[in-house]
Amino acid sequence: LKRPTAVKILKPALATEELIERFEREVTLASRLQHPATVEIFDHGRTRDGTFYYAREYIDGINLAQLVEKDGAQSAPRVAHILKQVCESLREAHGKGIVHRDIKPANIMTCERGGESDVAKVLDFGLVKDVRATDTRDITQFARMLGTPTYMAPERIRNPAEASPAVDIYAVGAVAFLLLTGKRVFDAPNELELARIVLEVEAPRASAVAKQAIPRGLDALIARCLAKDPSARPLR
């Protein structure tokens, strides 16, 4: 169709059994999702030399990490607009038993589509897990390697194989905190200390850190998303 396309490949030198399984899982599960805020998968397979690849829609935009780095904290209405789309994408995924497990600013892009600005796209399902499947093993080695404590729920730090919608909701709260304040929920000189803080220290309110006024309801919602107890997070 001669449309712009992004192609992701798995370099042969890295093609271990576990990485191949992770790569195939990513494309297989992501291709089940149809929400406009979820990246669309066009095709996947192997090249003639056996290299795994998949093709997805090309997104001409900026990810949320770049957005904050470039422009700082964003207005509450803009943050709510972007993250509403992200939550709708996750609602479809969760409804199909699919948990992303790597929601973070770098994996969410905003772009312009059909004359609409700030159209959100959820990317990179590399740590995705189908919680309804009983015949697939979890790749905990790569969950440890690729997850970042900054956006990981406490229960995933304790057990990297943890897969429930609540871990995605926690990450959405951490992304919202960054967008509204320009700062991460927690910071530390190294990942070990950061993991300890995520486990032990209650998250501050976005309203206590942001230089702008945060609507009371939004502030309370983010605090619920960042609750240590998964059952206290809003799942609907």
10 Å CB burial of residue 48 (0-12, 13-18, 19+) is exposed
Tell me what pLDDT residue 130 has: 59
Neighbours of 79 (CB within 10 A): 22
User: What is the tens place of the pLDDT at every residue in 152-179?
Assistant: 999 999 888 777 999 999 999 999 999 9
In contact, 154 and 198? CB cutoff 8 Å:
yes
Per annotation, catalytic residue among 43, 71, 102, 168: 102
Q: Which of 77, 119, 87 is nearest to 218 (CA)?
A: 77
Mean pLDDT across 87-108: 93
Is residue 111's pLDDT more than 60? yes
d(CA 127, CA 177): 22
Q: Which of 86, 48, 71 is nearest to 179 (CA)?
A: 71
Amino acid at 101: R
Is residue 9's pLDDT more than 50? yes
Is residue 146's pLDDT more than 90? no
- The three-state DSSP-derived secondary structure of the chain is CCCCEEEEEECHHHCCHHHHHHHHHHHHHHCCCCCCCECCEEEEEECCCCCEEEEEECCCEEEHHHHHHHHCCCCHHHHHHHHHHHHHHHHHHHHCCEECCCCCHHHEEEEEECCEEEEEEECCCCCCEECCCCCCCCCHHHHHHHCCHHHCCHHHHHCCCCCCHHHHHHHHHHHHHHHHHCCCCCCCCCHHHHHHHHHHCCCCCHHHHCCCCCCHHHHHHHHHHCCCCHHHCCCC
Mean pLDDT across 95-124: 92
Neighbours of 128 (CB within 10 A): 21
User: What is the tens place of the pLDDT at every residue in 20-78?
Assistant: 777 787 788 888 899 999 999 898 888 888 888 888 999 999 999 999 999 999 999 99
Average pLDDT of the chain, as a whole number: 88
Mean pLDDT across 72-88: 97
User: What is the tens place of the pLDDT at every residue in 175-232?
Assistant: 999 999 999 999 999 988 999 999 999 999 999 999 999 999 999 999 999 999 999 9
d(CA 56, CA 185): 32
Q: What angle do CA 37, 63, 154 make, to 5 degrees?
A: 85
d(CA 123, CA 103): 9
Residues 6 or more apart whose CB falls under 8 angstroms from that of 158 comprise 199
Could you give the percent of the chain with pLDDT greater than 70? 90
> Does the active-site annotation cover 219?
no
Structure tokens at 229: 């107890």
The pTM for the full model equals 0.89
